[in-house]
Amino acid sequence: GKGNFRHFMQKEIHEQPAVIGDTLHSYVNLQTRAVTLPEMPLDFAALPRLTISACGTAFYAGFVAKYWFEQIARLPVEVDIASEFRYREAPMPEGGAALFISQSGETIDTLAALRYARSQKQTILSIVNQPESVIGRESDLVLPTLAGPEIGVASTKAFTTQLTVLACLALAAARARGAIDAAAEACLSSAITEVPAAITQVLEHAEPLEAIAHDISAVRDVLFLGRGSLFPIALEGALKLKEISYIHAEGYAAGELKHGPIALIDEDVPVVIAAPSGPLFDKLASNIQETIARGGRAIIFSDRAGLERIGDGAAYTVEMPTIDPFVAPILYSLPMQLLAYYTAVAKGTDVDQPRNLAKSVTVE
C-alpha cells in the first residue's frame, strides 16, 4: 500500500535513500568501499565498445552512463533508444558488449534491441529491476537494481538505482582498463556511498519546491537545461513533467540554447537548470546569464558554492547539498522528480496513472 503517502510516486521518491542503500550493499563493499561486481562474462580491458540501449527514463540512465564510461573508464560507448536501435542495422564490433536497461524487463523494443545485439554476437548485460523478466532471462549477466516494486507509472526509484548500478559498473570498468589509480577510485566509490544521505537531505528540505511547482502549474511550456552528465537529467526532468502534469517540456544541452531554443525564452517559459559545481560550471553559468538577460525566469538548482557564483537575477534558487560531480546526476534527479510531482498535484492530474500511459510497454 501507500502507507502515509498520498501517491505511490511520492512513496517511491521517498524510498530512494533506502533502495539506493540496498543496491549499494550488493555492489560495494561498505568496509573497504571497493566496488565488487559478480563475475563478468567479459573482460573490460579488451572491450572495443559498449552499446547501451533502452527506452524512456531507462534510456536517460544509459545516457548518463555514457558520460561515466567514457570519462572515467575511457571506454567508447554508443547509446540509443531501443525503438531506433533495433531497426538501424548498426554494425557491432567483434568482441563487443551490449547493455540493456529496463525496470520491467519486459519492454518490447528493448527486448528486440537485445535480440539484435545477440545476433551480432555481442555479450549481453542487463540492468533490470525484475530479474525473472524476459530481458533478464536472455542476458549473459543480470545486474539487478534492488528498487523493489515500482507502481507509479512515472519511474523514480528505478531510475536512481539504475544510475547507482551504472556508476559501480563504470568504476569496475575503469579499474579493469587501468584508467584510474587507486586513490581516484577510492574517492569516486566513497562519493557513491554518500548519495543516500544527500538524498535524505534533499527530501527533508523539499518545501520550496512546492511553491515553485505551484508557479509551474500555471504555464504551458518549460525548458530544462543541463550540461555534461546533467544533460540527460534535464531530459529526464522534462519527461517527468510532461508525463504526469501534461505540461509541455523540453530538455536541452545548455550549450545548444543559442542554436534555437533561446528564441522561446520569455517570462512565460520557466527555465529549470541543473547546475552543480563541477568542471562545466562556468560554461553553464554563462548560459544562465543568457537566459536571465532575455527576461527568462530561471529556476536554478546548485550547491552553495555554485549559487554564490551565479549571483542575482534568478526567479528561484534552490540550494542542493555539496557532492562530488561524479554522482551529481543521481542527486539532481530528485528535484526533477519532486518538481514534476508537486506540479501534477497542484494541477490535480492523476499522478500514478497518467492518461494514455502504461507501466510497461509490451507492444510495439
> What residues act catalytically?
359
Report 220-249 residues binding ligand M6R (CB under 6 A): 243
Chosen residue from 110, 139, 161, 302 binding ligand M6R by CB under 6 A: 110
Distance CA 307, CA 304 (A): 5
Residue 333 as a binder of ligand M6R (CB under 6 A): the answer is no
Chosen residue from 23, 83, 107, 291 binding ligand M6R by CB under 6 A: 107
Shortest Cβ 57–ligand M6R spacing (Å): 3
Stretch that binds ligand M6R, among 3-11, 151-159, 262-270, 316-324 (CB under 6 A): 151-159
Chosen residue from 102, 126, 287, 337 binding ligand M6R by CB under 6 A: 102
Residue 361 as a binder of ligand M6R (CB under 6 A): the answer is yes
Residue 133 as a binder of ligand M6R (CB under 6 A): the answer is no
**What one-character DSSP code corresponds to residue 277?**
S
Residue 112 is placed in which grid cell?
Answer: 528486440
Chosen residue from 155, 164, 302, 333 binding ligand M6R by CB under 6 A: 155
Residues 6+ apart with CB under 8 A from 325: 229, 276, 277, 278, 279
Shortest Cβ 42–ligand M6R spacing (Å): 23
Distance CA 334, CA 342 (A): 12
Residue 92, by phi and psi: left (phi above 0), alpha (psi -120 to 50) or beta?
Answer: beta
SS3 for 142-202, per residue?
A: EEECCCCCCCCCCCCHHHHHHHHHHHHHHHHHHHHCCCCCHHHHHHHHHHHHCHHHHHHHH
Chosen residue from 8, 20, 56, 317 binding ligand M6R by CB under 6 A: 56
Residue pair 241/214 in contact by the 8 Å Cβ criterion: no
Stretch that binds ligand M6R, among 102-110, 163-171, 284-292, 299-307 (CB under 6 A): 102-110
Shortest Cβ 110–ligand M6R spacing (Å): 5
Residue 327 as a binder of ligand M6R (CB under 6 A): the answer is no
Is the Cβ of residue 102 or residue 277 nearer to ligand M6R in the bound state? 102
Residue pair 145/167 in contact by the 8 Å Cβ criterion: no
Distance CA 360, CA 297 (A): 35
DSSP reduced 3-state for 238: helix
**Size of the residue set binding ligand M6R (CB under 6 A):** 15
Is the Cβ of residue 153 or residue 331 nearer to ligand M6R in the bound state? 153
Residue 153 as a binder of ligand M6R (CB under 6 A): the answer is yes
Residue 53 as a binder of ligand M6R (CB under 6 A): the answer is no
Is the Cβ of residue 47 or residue 58 nearer to ligand M6R in the bound state? 58
Closest CA to 240 of 332, 158, 338: 338
Residue pair 302/310 in contact by the 8 Å Cβ criterion: yes
Residues of this chain that interact with ligand M6R (CB under 6 A) are: 55-58, 102-104, 107, 110, 153-155, 243, 360-361
